Amino acid sequence: MNKIAKHAFGKAFSPEWFFHIWRTSVYLCVLLTADSLSARNADAAQETKNEALLKRAVAAYAGGKRNEAIVLATQAIEAEPNEARSYLVRAQLYSEGQQPAKAIVDYDTVLKLEPELANAWQHRGEEHFKLGQVKESLADFDKFIALVPGRAAYLWQRGITCYYAGRFEEGRKQFELHRTVNPNDVENAVWHFLCVAQLAGLEQARAGLIPIKGDSRVPMMEIYALFGGKAKPEDVLKAARAANEQPGRAMFYAHLYLGLYAEANGEMAQAREHIAKAAAEYRTDDYMGDVARVHLLLRAPGEKPVSGETKVH
């Protein structure tokens, strides 16, 4: 997704800035959470062994040594087994290393020790989604919102989980809410379209397509035109092939959304073909890449979306 953030004075940051921050969120979140959870020990005379190990783990991660960082975080856990921040650091490192099952185990422990730590609920929800566990993912996202309702509009990940859980009305509402903080994201408009299409059909989905003024990522505006009935699939592929920057990523987006468009039209074999290309040939190791892989996990060949709880895994 094209994520837009606003600081306290209402100024919108660029999509490129937000994407950079999102890709480095593990490191930033480790630092911020470690600081907040260690505040209770601010009056300690000396740094504990646990704190020293965590600092080394964060430094190792910052230096590109993720495996070393995991070893150090594990040593920090062994030094103080009841310290939540150690498990949190290791969970985020497992997440960055595409090991969601291990990350979930550590987030489970974090939330037993610190049940009000909102970000841990969100992150565990993301890891559950990566495993296709959409019921658990949605429950974690809902707990996050209950703890920090003011951040609900930013949780576009919840809308995608709702789509795969067959909660199309909740997904529609989530993407409409996200529009209030991110008004020119083609992907948000498309996921809203997909939910409405399952609820009311393609004609109403197209009539209610969220208006977008501009999304600079290639081939987003061609994708938007496709869902609006003003372009053809070949127009999307042509634009992606002509991309000057990140051509592989452009092709990933093209095939992901051509697949989802085909699914909305009931063309399930074509949908699977496109999304398989997005997941493998043009693989990207970020959350939208996870979406492509989870789609293939949850959709058997020829299977259409199912409304309600019957499709929850």
pLDDT digits (tens, 9 = 90+) for 16-44: 333 333 344 444 455 544 454 445 444 44
Please list the ranges in the chain whose pLDDT falls under 50.
3-28, 32-34, 36-38, 40-45, 309-313
- Residues 67 and 159 reside in one and the same domain: no
* CA quadruple 164, 167, 172, 173: dihedral, nearest 10: -130
Residue 21, both tokens? 């921050």
Spatial separation of the C-alpha atoms in residues 107 and 123, rounded to whole Å: 8
- Residues 177 and 47 reside in one and the same domain: no
pLDDT value of residue 302: 85
- Residues 193 and 276 reside in one and the same domain: yes
- Residues 20 and 70 reside in one and the same domain: yes
Going from the C-alpha of 69 to that of each of 100, 144, 278, the distances in angstroms are 17, 27, 31
134 lies in a domain?
A: no
- Residues 18 and 89 reside in one and the same domain: yes
196 lies in a domain?
A: yes
- Residues 2 and 110 reside in one and the same domain: yes
pLDDT value of residue 19: 37
Domain boundary among 115, 139, 170: 115
Residue 48, both tokens? 């504990």
pLDDT value of residue 24: 43
230 lies in a domain?
A: yes
pLDDT value of residue 301: 87
Query: Radius of gyration over alpha carbons of the chain, in Å?
Result: 20
Q: Widest CA span of the chain, in angstroms?
A: 67
- Residues 163 and 297 reside in one and the same domain: yes
Spatial separation of the C-alpha atoms in residues 26 and 126, rounded to whole Å: 13
- Tell me phi and psi for residue 242, to 5 degrees: -90, 5
Residue 233, both tokens? 């699939």
The average confidence (pLDDT) of the chain is 88
Domain boundary among 69, 85, 115: 115
pLDDT value of residue 98: 94
Domain boundary among 86, 115, 144: 115
Spatial separation of the C-alpha atoms in residues 9 and 174, rounded to whole Å: 24
127 lies in a domain?
A: no
Spatial separation of the C-alpha atoms in residues 194 and 72, rounded to whole Å: 44
15 lies in a domain?
A: yes
pLDDT digits (tens, 9 = 90+) for 114-129: 999 999 999 999 999 9
**Domain coverage including residue 73:** 1-115
- How many distinct structural domains can be found in the chain? 2
Residue 283, both tokens? 């693989």
pLDDT value of residue 102: 98
pLDDT value of residue 10: 28
- Residue 83 exposed, middle or buried by CB count within 10 Å (0-12, 13-18, 19+): buried
124 lies in a domain?
A: no
- Residues 199 and 104 reside in one and the same domain: no
- Residues 184 and 74 reside in one and the same domain: no
What CATH number is given to the structural domain containing 230? Answer: 1.25.40.10
- Residues 161 and 277 reside in one and the same domain: yes
131 lies in a domain?
A: no
pLDDT value of residue 43: 44
- Residues 85 and 18 reside in one and the same domain: yes
Residue 147, both tokens? 């703890």
- Residues 199 and 285 reside in one and the same domain: yes
Spatial separation of the C-alpha atoms in residues 31 and 25, rounded to whole Å: 10
